[in-house]
Structure 1
């Protein structure tokens, strides 16, 4: 009997140790993702989910984010806008009309008013039980687990977002981005640009896009760029070689045709992933933003493209 009790105690202790080690591993995952972001590799392609997994739960919702965490996504791209009373909430559009059961501009509604609304699902069905989350709620959910790509913040609400990140101790969990020149960003935010992770957008419509990148390289020296190209003839597509030579990461956006020369999620599903995601990786992408996170992860794993050396 004594021997049996001892064996039970050892089993319980092992279970506790396993649980603690699993928890520590999860808490360290965001730090590992950041290191992967800083050290882009052809052997580990970062999976970035657009607006959370919005086919599984309402876009920009906490449940859509949790789904990404559960799947093993590295970065979740979410949109944020400022309410009338100064709170950042997860919302893509300027109004709440499309994604909630309410109406009105985000900028003309208070947080309390927005919290009374309920999100719709991807088909526009009303009566969800889920509320519009704040940036603070999102960052508390992702803390230690995943990184967040902040969209719509651009050069509008960087200070407000940074204050939330400081409060939640998640400054190193968030990626700011935009396509304004570094002179514009430094004039508006000064030394704050040295305190945040900033990913410039290389867009075809940027005038003198090579000069634009050179200015960033000479100042804050980013380690990752979001690169859009409507065709293989785009100047931004030609710049991919420069990014690779400099050891900078290249985030491809596989959402619709003019963002990735037609190598979209849809092509991956209809014609096979090699025609889309595989092509982007071949051309130098070290991260892919997708509306199909589960399928993208399965493909990357099958090709040995999730092998981190960190």
Structure 2
């Protein structure tokens, strides 16, 4: 049902990773499935290196596990990294970390109201999109989860036209 149409984001499924791998392999869904976790790099390496083919993987990165960033990028090469931050001063959203990540992967930000996003949320975005979604876009976050996709897309398209040269 999803081939060519959608991507499954297995956000809280790390404990089912072996079973999910079998299903993904059985149905050839490697291009339509993404496993996500914040597990230590050693656990990730054990899992991904034990399978003949890798699933897409997104890592949840916060100040708590930022110390493993270099190892993560070198050993796992995630397709994306979800940034979890409680304040704008968290190191995980510093210019240095963002620049390193943007060079090697895609950045995911969660704009849902109760996510770890320093209140750069959908609710703020509906009042002032520059302070909500715009702040995330300005950080280089290219994948944004929102409960208001049509309003977000309208805003993002207008913002991109404004920031394009010429």
Does 2:128 correspond to 1:268? no
Task: Provide the aligned C-alpha RMSD in A.
Answer: 2.1
The gaps in structure 2 that reach 5 residues or longer are 162-166
Which residue of the other structure, out of 146, 152, 155, is the alignment partner of 1:290?
Answer: 146
Which protein has greater RCO, CA pairs closer than 8 Å, 6+ apart? 1
Query: What corresponds to 2:164 in structure 1?
Result: none
Aligned residues between the structures: 159
| 1:258 CA displacement | 5.7
| 1:167 CA displacement | 2.6
In 2, Cα distance between equivalents of 1:230 and 1:158: 28
Query: What corresponds to 1:151 in structure 2?
Result: 11
| 1:148 CA displacement | 1.9
Which residue of the other structure, out of 175, 191, 200, is the alignment partner of 2:59?
Answer: 200
TM-score for the superposition, normalised by structure 2: 0.84
In 1, Cα distance between equivalents of 2:9 and 2:85: 20
TM-score for the superposition, normalised by structure 1: 0.47
| 1:304 CA displacement | 3.8
Which residue of the other structure, out of 160, 163, 174, is the alignment partner of 2:19?
Answer: 160
The gaps in structure 1 that reach 5 residues or longer are 1-139, 306-310
Query: What corresponds to 1:94 in structure 2?
Result: none
**Per-residue CA shift, 1:52-85, capped at 9, x if unaligned?**
xxxxxxxxxxxxxxxxxxxxxxxxxxxxxxxxxx
Which residue of the other structure, out of 228, 231, 243, is the alignment partner of 2:84?
Answer: 228
Does 2:106 correspond to 1:249? yes
**Per-residue CA shift, 1:255-294, capped at 9, x if unaligned?**
136611111000011x221221111101111110112222
Task: Report the structure number with the largest CA radius of gyration.
Answer: 1
In 1, Cα distance between equivalents of 2:61 and 2:53: 20
Are the aligned partners of 1:250 and 1:286 in contact in 2 as well (CA < 8 Å)?
Answer: yes
Query: What corresponds to 1:182 in structure 2?
Result: 41
Deviant stretches of 4+, over 6 Å:
none
In 2, Cα distance between equivalents of 1:284 and 1:174: 24
In 2, Cα distance between equivalents of 1:163 and 1:277: 37
Distance verdict in 2 for CA 1:162–1:249, change over 3 Å: same
In 1, Cα distance between equivalents of 2:155 and 2:52: 36
Query: What corresponds to 2:136 in structure 1?
Result: 280
Are the aligned partners of 2:48 and 2:54 in contact in 1 as well (CA < 8 Å)?
Answer: no
In 1, Cα distance between equivalents of 2:42 and 2:29: 26
| 1:187 CA displacement | 2.9
Does 2:80 correspond to 1:191? no
